[in-house]
């Protein structure tokens, strides 16, 4: 066993996350009065954000999920991406908001936006809880950002390391040496 607990440093505590999500929900309500807004979460990490954001909104929402896998992520990203799970519904003519936990290199969202644009939604925007602009290698236009963060390895609130830590309520930095 490794000593994991001491090496997790809280970067954004749960209360700040929830307060920012309430602000984002109110802002999105103003931009899409009444709705309906299709909230599309990218599996798996964005599910937690989707659940809280949708409940922070008063406009009507509909939810769907999409799965994407990318190869050679991180420093050696190849930019190769493929769809592993498609939407259940058509988004033609709909107001669509892609819900993402973190924008890192931008490879995932750059690809996904091209895919979704072809399906002729009425509008298509991105809401991302976290943004690491220093890591971008593909352009992505993020309409709503929760927090800009530095280039550190973060886990919690949906974000994982080898599938661990997704259920933390805080967003934490996983310090070197703590990776199991």
What is the β-pairing status of strands 171-174 and 8-12?
A: antiparallel
26 near ligand PRP, judged by CB under 6 A: no
171 near ligand PRP, judged by CB under 6 A: no
101 near ligand PRP, judged by CB under 6 A: yes
**Is residue 101 within 8 Å of residue 158, measured between CB atoms?**
yes
Site string for ligand PRP, 61-100 (x = CB under 6 A): ---------x-----------------------------x
131 near ligand PRP, judged by CB under 6 A: no
105 near ligand PRP, judged by CB under 6 A: yes
Interface residue with ligand PRP, options 41, 94, 99, 102 (CB under 6 A):
102
160 is catalytic: no
Cβ-count burial 129-163 (b if 16+ within 10 Å, e if not): bbbbeebeebebebebbbeebeeeebbbbbbbbee
| Interatomic CA distance for residues 83 and 12, integer angstroms | 31
Total interface residues for ligand PRP by CB under 6 A: 15
Nearest to 63 by CA among 55, 71, 73: 55
Interface residue with ligand PRP, options 107, 124, 142, 173 (CB under 6 A):
107
Provide the total of helices (H) and of strands (E) in the chain, helices listed first: 3, 9
Active-site amino acid positions? 104
Interface residues toward ligand PRP, by CB under 6 A: 42-45, 70, 100-108, 160
């Amino acid at each position: 066993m490794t000593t994991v607990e001491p090496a997790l440093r809280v970067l954004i505590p749960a209360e700040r996350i929830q307060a920012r999500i309430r602000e984002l929900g109110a802002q999105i309500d103003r931009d899409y009065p009444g709705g309906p807004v299709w909230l599309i979460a990218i599996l798996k990490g964005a599910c937690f954000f989707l659940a809280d954001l949708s409940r922070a909104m008063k406009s009507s929402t509909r939810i769907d999920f999409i799965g994407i896998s990318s190869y050679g992520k991180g420093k050696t990203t190849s930019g190769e991406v493929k769809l592993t799970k498609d939407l259940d519904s058509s988004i033609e003519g709909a107001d669509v908001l892609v819900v993402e936990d973190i924008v890192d290199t931008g490879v995932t969202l750059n690809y996904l936006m091209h895919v979704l644009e072809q399906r002729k939604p009425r509008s298509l925007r991105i809401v991302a809880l976290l943004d690491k602009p220093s890591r971008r290698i593909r352009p992505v236009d993020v309409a709503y950002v929760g927090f800009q963060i530095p280039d550190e390895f973060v886990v919690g609130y949906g974000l994982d390391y080898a599938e661990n830590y997704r259920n933390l309520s805080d967003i934490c930095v996983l310090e070197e040496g703590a990776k199991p």
